[in-house]
Amino acid sequence: MGASPGRLGAEVEGNEAGTVNSWHKSSYSAGEQSCVEINETPRTVLIRDTQNREVGHLAFSAREWTSLVDTLKSHG
């Protein structure tokens, strides 16, 4: 599965970097009902809805993720 913006992926045992999934709750979701979980590897960032894990995840390349975060920081 290659990473591309908005690509929806199924739950997997390993990720694109070949390591075991290590999902963690986003620090921006602390104390909120609407939470997302992140799985970061050197090449890929996966994002999923904590309450709807069964629907899969979005996959972004590390470059795409950095660009998104930088854009959000500059507008927020």
pLDDT value at residue 17: 47
Backbone angles phi, psi at 32, to 5 degrees: -100, 155
The residue ranking higher by pLDDT, 5 or 61, is 61
**DSSP letter string over the chain?**
----TTEEE---SB-TTSSB---EE-GGGTT-SS-EEEEE-SSEEEEEEGGGGGG-EEEEEHHHHHHHHHHHHHT-
Dump pLDDT digits (tens) for 13-72: 444 444 546 888 877 776 667 788 889 888 899 999 988 989 999 999 989 989 988 998
**The pLDDT of residue 31:** 67
